[in-house]
Amino acid sequence: MDLLKPLIALLAIVNPIGVVPFFIHFTQGFSAEQRARTIRVTSTTVFLVIALSALAGLKIIEFFGISLASFQVGGGTLLLISSLAMLNAQPAESKPGDVEDGQQKVDAGASIAVVPLAIPLLTGPATISTMVIYAEKSRQLWELAVFVGYGVVIALITFVVLSASGRIAKVIGRTGINVMTRLMGLILAAMAVELLADGLMKLFPVLGTGLPR
């Protein structure tokens, strides 16, 4: 198995740069200490979602009696939907109301580090689906350890990007963020098609036999 694909997929889905405008919006009026704590909690949550999905995701779908092929098709479809949102310059895991919910949490004095920043703006169903699908393909414990390590990598990237959010927004501007989001969406769409095709071939083996001559 190509171990770089999960990392590329995670980078495309999580896409911390695309969340910079939301982070700036949600943390308006925060002190430097509050903003730093928000970044730490958000990054830690991102790691936990990725690591737990890789280590326990398969057990969870087995508990519900879901076949991996079905999960692959569902996950691939979800990734494709996420990529279409990104091609429209929206965060992959966002949904209508996330911004409003986040603002309400700020107004109430609650932390927005976990919801909605970490979940669902940065990580969510698409992230979980990706990790479960790739974890099933792993054959060695060290491969699962690599996936957990990817969680660390993504969390560190998230930490660095959010810490530099003000400078990033000034340098690349809204247009630059939109271009980056669309590029990552295109990459994610290609990966989603691969996952969909693999899952459909498992559900309907006749698709792989080709047309009779």
Taking 3-state DSSP, the helix, strand and coil percentages for the chain, each rounded to the nearest 5, stand at 80, 0, 20
Q: Determine the average pLDDT of the residues in 186-198.
A: 84
Percent of the chain scored above 90 by pLDDT? 23
The reported pLDDT for the residue numbered 91 is 64
- With respect to residue 191, please indicate whether it lies within any of the assigned structural domains: yes
- With respect to residue 213, please indicate whether it lies within any of the assigned structural domains: no
Query: What's this model's pTM, rounded to 2 decimal places?
Result: 0.73
- Report the number of distinct structural domains present in the chain: 1
120 or 44, which is more confident?
Answer: 44
- Whole-number Å distance between alpha carbons of 188 and 26: 27
CA distances for 34 relative to 26, 93, 130, 166, 167, angstroms: 12, 24, 32, 15, 18
Q: Determine the average pLDDT of the residues in 51-64.
A: 88
Residue whose tokens read 């326990």: 56
- Whole-number Å distance between alpha carbons of 87 and 9: 15
In tens, the pLDDT along 138-187 reads: 878 899 999 999 999 999 999 999 999 989 888 888 788 788 778 878 88
- With respect to residue 208, please indicate whether it lies within any of the assigned structural domains: no
Note whether 152 and 12 are within 8 A (CB): no
* H/E segment holding residue 181: helix 165-203
The reported pLDDT for the residue numbered 101 is 55
Residue whose tokens read 């990790």: 131
Q: Determine the average pLDDT of the residues in 80-97.
A: 72
- With respect to residue 209, please indicate whether it lies within any of the assigned structural domains: no
- With respect to residue 210, please indicate whether it lies within any of the assigned structural domains: no
Note whether 147 and 134 are within 8 A (CB): yes
The DSSP annotation for 41-102 comes to HHHHHHHHHHHHHHHHHHHHHHHTT--HHHHHHHHHHHHHHHHHHHHTT--TT--TTHHHHH
Full residue range of the structural domain in which residue 33 is found: 4-203
CA distances for 194 relative to 28, 133, 136, 143, angstroms: 40, 12, 15, 21
- With respect to residue 137, please indicate whether it lies within any of the assigned structural domains: yes
Query: Is the pLDDT reported for residue 111 higher than 80?
Result: no
The reported pLDDT for the residue numbered 36 is 92
Note whether 203 and 69 are within 8 A (CB): yes
How many CB atoms neighbour CB 7 within 10 A? 17
